[in-house]
């Protein structure tokens, strides 16, 4: 191991320790007060704990569905599996089990800071929560396999992929968004207060109901933990027993899905007269529209704007001037989505040689790609901005400008820090260019803060704006010249 | 855009010159292309062969504008490619060994896209596209997404894309690698037809039999330099080997590096 390698490993370890410490601090602020909760709790505590469990489980289900869909539609070792002497049932049983382990491990990793804090403050009994989290992962996997196969059998391989990915995105967002919507309508603020409402506590099952077993298990009830574990293992086992045998047939059928015939119903089968810039933009939009996973990710971005939209509607109704909460959410969402779209258009270009050897100047290519990204951003965020402007002109203008600036900044960052990948690498873009990821996130946060201050009419808006511009300048200094991406001469 | 007034360069024997490089140089950690002087005449099929690492792909990538040369000049059909890259690209087509197309577009849509990039009139581009799809056996799949195609089919789609804008100079880097004999035959037939119609084809290949059968002239590159060039007979005469291009090639490559 070289000296430089040891140094970088040490730096990584230090960064991880700092990050871990920060996460534990955040966890302490969220769950520290519950460390003293006991096994014989009141209904209110059971409701809160169950709410957290359901919230986490919905995210696990979303993750499990995405993983199962990926196994279905991207089986890179399909030939090896089907020609091996082992029975496909055994192979896919192990594969489903592996998905369950992956999901459970991910869940335990995400829950670790919270459980650690509870264990330190409330005793080692809280460590049984890891068992509950693992059980949740098993149940999520079982349900994900059942749902995906059900979709496959009812609507066919071609549509099942899109629907499965949309369901995964919606499930992941639904519980969180539902809770936020309930909070908006009942309390006019964005918090988890509905879980502690008197109405809910009065209408839930009584304290001895099996509904509370996961919460009881989480609080250290050994019997409840055994029951929860047994049920989760039973469900996973049933899923494997029922679906593993036919899994191979479904995977083979799914492998042929890409060969899709495009039925020209309304569109004429003739070439259209368009400029080079326009064909470049149109190509990006067509590829985006035909990518089910991307559509589901975009849909999730829109779904997460729903609470903001409802909050806005409440503001309009009650004339409460609280745009400082809505405007930055919209701006940050625009920055995040813009960064992803820009990555696809720039680093995820599947035919870079074709674009670079086309008789079109590098400047025009760059502007066409920027326009393609900004066009999608405008399409998605225009309704929200219009609604804001209708409620109050200045916050609407601030949000509109903020959306454009945040998305444009993210696009520029991707231009300067571009890599050469392919569309299929989009899921791993955060790993392939960590610097771009951090710069993008920091830029979006800075512009969101600037937008919040501008909407509130506070002159301090200059400071986050300067930070955002500094990030761009820094990226420009260390990144590659933009034009050289599309022309060596 | 390409200007029709800038006509092709003419060699001393009055043959139009499709591609001329002078002193073309590129180094990475070591010289990859070393002051290369290469001349390809209009209307000929030129095969560029050489051992791995000889600089073939680097040379062609500089010609089509994918790599910046450290030194030297590139002239395509009389156009200074370094000073006027857009005009040079208008008359050039590039096909790499790995077909780069879009999995979520159909061949029909891909050709419409390429035609639009090159600014070809839509009706002309469409007529050419239909013709090419027919020649290459892609007509039944014209409206299927390319993601489900085999490698050979994808290469044919990429080739159709390279030809739909009727380029004067077609540059291909190992176009026959990884494709079956039937597809290779179709590709070769289309390329022969292009040369017969007056176009120029420059192709690198490791399959010397292809160079032997198809090329009008062959250039042998080694260590970034053109060590031999000529027709098959001329190369055989130089080495005294009349058996095959393979023997001639191996003899020449084994010799100390010398300028052709």
Q: pLDDT (tens digit, 9 = 90+) per residue, A163-174?
A: 777 777 777 777
Distance CA B63, CA A3 (A): 42
- Residue-wise pLDDT for A350-386, tens only, equals 999 999 999 999 899 999 999 999 999 999 899 989 9
Indicate whether B203 pLDDT > 90: yes
* Residues 6+ positions from A361 with CB-CB distance below 8 Å: A487, B86
Residues in chain B within 8 Å Cβ distance of A488 = 62, 65-68
- A361: nearest CA partner in chain B: B86
Substitution target in A162, A425, A481, A489 with the highest count of B β-carbons within 10 Å is A489
Give backbone dihedrals phi and psi of B75, rounded to 5 degrees, phi first.
-125, 125
Contact A50, A216 (CB under 8 A): no
Structure tokens at A26: 């955040």
* Average pLDDT value for chain B: 88
Lowest mean pLDDT among A12-26, A65-79, A103-117, B71-85: A65-79
Indicate whether A482 pLDDT > 50: yes
What is the rounded average pLDDT of the residues A88-99?
81
CB contact under 8 A, B116 and A278: yes
Distance CA A26, CA A487 (A): 47
Contact A292, A158 (CB under 8 A): no
Please report which helix (H) or strand (E) contains residue A57, including its range.
helix A43-73
- Scanning A193-291, the segments in alpha helix (DSSP H) are 198-203, 213-218, 222-255, 276-289
- A258: nearest CA partner in chain B: B148
Q: What is the model's pLDDT at position A189? A: 52
- Residue-wise pLDDT for A265-315, tens only, equals 444 578 888 899 999 999 999 998 887 667 666 666 666 666 666 666 666
Strands B79-80 and B92-95: unpaired
Strands B45-49 and B79-80: unpaired
Task: Band the pLDDT of A403: cuts 50, 70, 90.
Answer: very high
- Residue-wise pLDDT for A9-60, tens only, equals 777 777 778 777 877 777 777 677 767 766 556 777 788 788 878 877 887 8
| Better-scored residue on pLDDT, B197 or A72 | B197
Nearest Cα neighbor of B94 from A250, A70, A488 is: A488
Q: What is the model's pLDDT at position A266? A: 44
Q: What is the model's pLDDT at position B49? A: 93
- Pick from A271, A357, A488: CB nearest B68: A488
- A290: nearest CA partner in chain B: B104
Substitution target in B104, B126, B165 with the highest count of A β-carbons within 10 Å is B104
Q: Which residue has the tokens 């780069």?
A: B100
The minimum CA-CA distance between A250 and chain B, rounded to whole Å, is: 17
Distance CA B114, CA B108 (A): 10
Task: Please give the share of chain A, as a percent, with pLDDT higher than 90.
Answer: 19
Residues in chain A within 8 Å Cβ distance of B174 = none
Task: Please give the share of chain B, as a percent, with pLDDT higher than 90.
Answer: 64
Contact A45, A53 (CB under 8 A): no
Instruction: Tally C-beta pairs within 8 A across A and B.
Output: 124
Q: What is the model's pLDDT at position A304? A: 66
- B150: nearest CA partner in chain A: A259
Lowest mean pLDDT among A54-58, A439-443, B2-6, B169-173: B2-6
CB contact under 8 A, B119 and A359: yes
Indicate whether A488 pLDDT > 60: yes
Count of residues making up chain B:
260
What is the rounded average pLDDT of the residues B66-80?
94
Task: Band the pLDDT of B24: cuts 50, 70, 90.
Answer: very high
| Better-scored residue on pLDDT, A406 or A224 | A406
Q: What is the model's pLDDT at position A485? A: 64
Q: Which residue has the tokens 């090896």?
A: A80
Distance CA A233, CA A210 (A): 17
| Better-scored residue on pLDDT, A58 or B61 | B61
| Better-scored residue on pLDDT, A54 or B162 | B162
Contact B144, B102 (CB under 8 A): no
Residues in chain A within 8 Å Cβ distance of B118 = 276, 358-359
Contact A115, A122 (CB under 8 A): no
Q: What is the model's pLDDT at position B2? A: 30
The DSSP call for residue B144 is B
CA distances from A436 to A429, A448, A475 (A): 9, 18, 8
Indicate whether B6 pLDDT > 50: no
Q: What is the model's pLDDT at position B258? A: 47
Strands B45-49 and B169-173: unpaired
Contact A336, A444 (CB under 8 A): yes
Structure tokens at A381: 């965020």
Distance CA A1, CA A456 (A): 54
Q: What is the model's pLDDT at position A182? A: 61
Count of residues making up chain A:
489
Q: What is the model's pLDDT at position A258? A: 47
Nearest 5°: the CA angle B92, B95, B97 is 155
CB contact under 8 A, B106 and A262: yes
Contact B129, B147 (CB under 8 A): no
Distance CA A30, CA A23 (A): 11
* Average pLDDT value for chain A: 79
Task: Band the pLDDT of A322: cuts 50, 70, 90.
Answer: low
The minimum CA-CA distance between B259 and chain A, rounded to whole Å, is: 27
Distance CA A131, CA A401 (A): 48
The DSSP call for residue A242 is H
The minimum CA-CA distance between A215 and chain B, rounded to whole Å, is: 46
Give backbone dihedrals phi and psi of B258, rounded to 5 degrees, phi first.
-145, 155
pTM of the predicted model over 0.95 = no
Judged by DSSP in three states, B81 sits in coil
- Pick from B86, B125, B149: CB nearest A359: B86
């Amino acid at each position: 191991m070289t000296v430089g390698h040891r140094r970088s490993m040490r730096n990584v370890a230090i960064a991880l320790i700092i990050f871990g410490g920060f996460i534990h601090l955040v966890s302490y602020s969220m769950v520290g007060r519950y460390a003293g909760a006991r096994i014989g709790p009141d209904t209110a505590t059971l409701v809160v704990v169950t709410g957290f469990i359901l919230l986490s489980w919905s995210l696990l289900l979303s993750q499990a569905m995405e993983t199962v869909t990926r196994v279905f539609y991207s089986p890179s070792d399909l030939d090896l599996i089907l020609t091996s002497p082992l029975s496909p049932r055994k192979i896919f049983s192990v594969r489903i089990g592996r998905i369950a382990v992956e999901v459970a491990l991910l869940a335990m990793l995400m829950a670790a800071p919270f459980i650690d804090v509870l264990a330190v403050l409330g005793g080692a009994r809280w460590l049984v929560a890891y068992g509950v989290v693992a059980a949740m992962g098993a149940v999520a996997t079982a349900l994900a396999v059942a749902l995906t196969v059900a979709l496959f059998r009812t609507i066919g391989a071609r549509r099942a992929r899109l629907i499965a990915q949309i369901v995964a995105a919606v499930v992941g967002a639904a519980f969180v968004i539902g809770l936020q919507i309930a909070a908006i309508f009942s309390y006019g603020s964005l918090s988890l207060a509905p879980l502690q409402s008197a109405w809910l506590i009065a209408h839930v099952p009584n304290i001895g109901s099996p509904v509370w077993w996961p919460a009881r298990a989480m609080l250290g009830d050994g019997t409840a933990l055994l029951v929860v574990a047994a049920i989760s293992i039973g469900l996973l086992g049933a899923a494997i027993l029922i679906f593993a045998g036919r899994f191979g047939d479904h995977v083979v059928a799914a492998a042929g899905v890409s060969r899709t015939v495009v039925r020209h119903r309304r569109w004429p089968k003739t070439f259209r007269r368009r400029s080079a810039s326009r064909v470049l933009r149109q190509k990006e939009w067509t590829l985006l529209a035909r990518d089910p996973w991307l559509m589901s990710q975009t849909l999730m971005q829109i779904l997460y704007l729903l609470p903001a939209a409802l909050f806005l509607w409440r503001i309009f109704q009650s004339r409460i001037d609280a745009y400082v909460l809505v405007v930055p959410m919209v701006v940050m969402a625009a920055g995040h989505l813009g960064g992803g779209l820009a990555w696809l258009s720039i680093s995820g270009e599947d035919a870079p040689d074709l674009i670079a050897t086309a008789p079109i100047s590098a400047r025009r290519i760059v502007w066409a790609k920027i326009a393609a990204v900004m066009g999608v951003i405008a399409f998605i965020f225009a309704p929200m901005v219009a609604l804001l402007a209708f409620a109050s002109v200045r916050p609407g203008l601030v949000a509109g400008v903020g959306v454009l600036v945040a998305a444009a900044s993210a696009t520029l960052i991707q231009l300067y820090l571009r890599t050469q990948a392919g569309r299929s690498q989009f899921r791993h873009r955060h790993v392939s260019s960590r610097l771009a990821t951090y710069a993008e996130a920091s830029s979006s946060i800075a512009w969101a803060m600037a937008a919040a201050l501008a909407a509130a009419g506070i002159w301090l808006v200059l400071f986050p704006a300067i930070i955002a511009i500094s990030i761009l300048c820094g990226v420009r200094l260390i990144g590659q010249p933009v034009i050289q991406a599309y022309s060596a001469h | 855009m390409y200007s029709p007034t800038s006509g092709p360069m003419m060699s001393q024997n009055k043959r139009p010159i499709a591609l001329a490089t002078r002193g073309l140089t590129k180094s990475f950690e070591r010289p990859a292309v070393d002051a290369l002087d290469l001349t390809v005449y209009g209307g000929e099929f030129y095969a560029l062969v050489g051992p791995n690492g000889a600089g073939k792909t680097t040379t062609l990538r500089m010609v089509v504008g994918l790599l910046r040369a450290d030194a030297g000049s590139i002239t395509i059909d009389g156009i200074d490619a370094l000073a006027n890259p857009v005009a040079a690209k208008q008359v050039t087509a590039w096909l790499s060994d790995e077909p780069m197309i879009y999995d979520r577009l159909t061949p029909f849509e891909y050709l419409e896209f390429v035609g639009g990039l090159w600014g070809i009139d839509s009706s002309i581009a469409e007529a050419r596209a239909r013709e090419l799809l027919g020649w290459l056996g892609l007509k039944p799949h014209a409206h299927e997404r390319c993601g489900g195609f085999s490698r050979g089919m994808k290469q044919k789609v990429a080739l159709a894309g390279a030809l739909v804008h009727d380029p004067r100079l077609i540059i291909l880097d190992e176009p026959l690698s990884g494709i079956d004999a039937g597809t290779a035959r179709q590709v070769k037939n289309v390329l022969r037809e292009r040369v017969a119609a007056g176009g120029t084809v420059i192709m690198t290949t490791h399959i010397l039999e292809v160079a032997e059968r198809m090329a009008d002239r062959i250039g042998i590159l080694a260590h970034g330099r053109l060590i031999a060039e000529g027709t098959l007979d001329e190369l055989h005469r130089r080495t005294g080997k009349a058996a095959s291009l393979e023997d001639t090639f191996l003899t020449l490559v084994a010799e100390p590096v010398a300028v052709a």
